[in-house]
Amino acid sequence: MAISTTPLIHLSSVTKEYPLGNTTVHALRGVDLTVSKGDFMSIVGPSGSGKTTLLNIIGCIDQATSGSVVIDGQEITTMNDKQITDLRLYKIGFIFQTFNLIPVLNVIENVEFPLLLMKTFSKTEVRSRAERLIEAVGLSEHSQHRPAELSGGQRQRVAIARALVTQPAIILADEPTANLDSETGNQILELMRDLNQKEHTTFIFSTHDHNVLAYAKKIVKIKDGLITE
Ligand SMILES: Nc1ncnc2c1ncn2[C@@H]1O[C@H](COP(=O)(O)OP(=O)(O)OP(=O)(O)O)[C@@H](O)[C@H]1O
Ligand SMILES: [Mg+2]
């Protein structure tokens, strides 16, 4: 059986420094990380250890200070803005801790949004793709509701549908269950695990919740900006 050996994501010696007044915060101090296609990986570490920073760099929301970041064979640290925007739009779905839904749009419009940015699909195609995802996350009855009319768990499901609608190879989720009660959190994790198994979507999610760790197939520990195991 042929096994692809090229990793989907490869970071080497990645550092991130933030200037803070007269000092510098060393948020990442030389991170090496390899993620393979189909991984269901959890990044765990205490508050301030660098989890969000790491996910933001992989998700091209933030840039590394030094080091190399290769996604699907492409070195992103040398890409221009247009290339970065395309990479984010076509290959990566991001689920934020605080959902980041657009308040004036209803559920289906929020989910359609990235597809409209892609400009590759007809209106009917956009609508039917969004409807399929909303059904998958169990929100069909709420598709006309705005985020403010939904519970935290429902909002997170909208965010997941929006991250998945473009069928990205990679989903990055920053503490996807942090704002949810444990039962809703488990439902969200089961949904993510289902998608990982059925669609082979690669997931990387950060957490400091031990309940979440039970779901992970791989666990990466981070402390003070360094991966410890
Ligand atoms: N924009 C910024 N400016 C200055 N320092 C920052 C900035 N963003 C993060 N930091 C610092 O970088 C370090 C890593 O932060 P990061 O948000 O990645 O941690 P985290 O592991 O996600 O923490 P949490 O579990 O609390 O979300 C922290 O010391 C933080 O204070
Ligand atoms: Mg964080």
Closest CA to 166 of 118, 98, 124: 118
- The amino acid sitting at 133 is L
Q: Which of the four pLDDT bands, split at 50, 70 and 90, describes residue 44?
A: very high
Query: Ligand 1 within 6 A of 49 CB?
Result: yes
- For the chain, give the number of residues: 229
Give the C-alpha separation, 150 to 196, whole Å: 26
Task: Tell the residue nearest (CA) to atom 5 of ligand 1.
Answer: 18
* Residue 53 alpha carbon, nearest atom of ligand 1: 18
Structure tokens at 155: 């909002």
Distance 18 CA to ligand 1 centre (A): 9
Distance 51 CA to ligand 1 centre (A): 8
Q: For residue 65, give the ligand nearest its CA.
A: 1
Terminal CA-to-CA distance of the chain, rounded, Å?
A: 30
Distance 223 CA to ligand 2 centre (A): 12
Ligand 1 pocket: which of 51, 63, 96, 172 to mutate (most atoms within 8 A of CB): 51
Query: In sequence order, what are the residues at sequence separation of 6 or more whose Cβ sits closer than 8 angstroms to the Cβ of residue 57?
Result: 11, 14, 16, 28, 63, 64, 69
Distance 220 CA to ligand 2 centre (A): 15
Q: Contact at 8 Å (CB) between 66 and 13?
A: yes
Instruction: Indicate the domain borders of the chain.
Output: 38-49+80-227
Q: Mapping DSSP to helix (H, G, I), strand (E, B) and coil, where does residue 116 land?
A: helix
Reported as a single tens digit per residue, the pLDDT across 104-127 is: 999 999 999 999 998 889 999 999
Q: Which helix (H) or strand (E) holds 204?
A: strand 202-207
Query: In sequence order, what are the residues at sequence separation of 6 or more whose Cβ sits closer than 8 angstroms to the Cβ of residue 196?
Result: 38, 40, 202, 203
Reported as a single tens digit per residue, the pLDDT across 187-196 is: 888 888 988 9
**What is residue 81's DSSP assignment?**
H
Distance 139 CA to ligand 1 centre (A): 33
Tell me the whole-structure pTM to 2 decimals.
Answer: 0.89
Reported as a single tens digit per residue, the pLDDT across 27-39 is: 999 999 999 999 9
Considering the domain delimited by 38-49+80-227, tell me its CATH architecture. Answer: 3-Layer(aba) Sandwich (3.40)
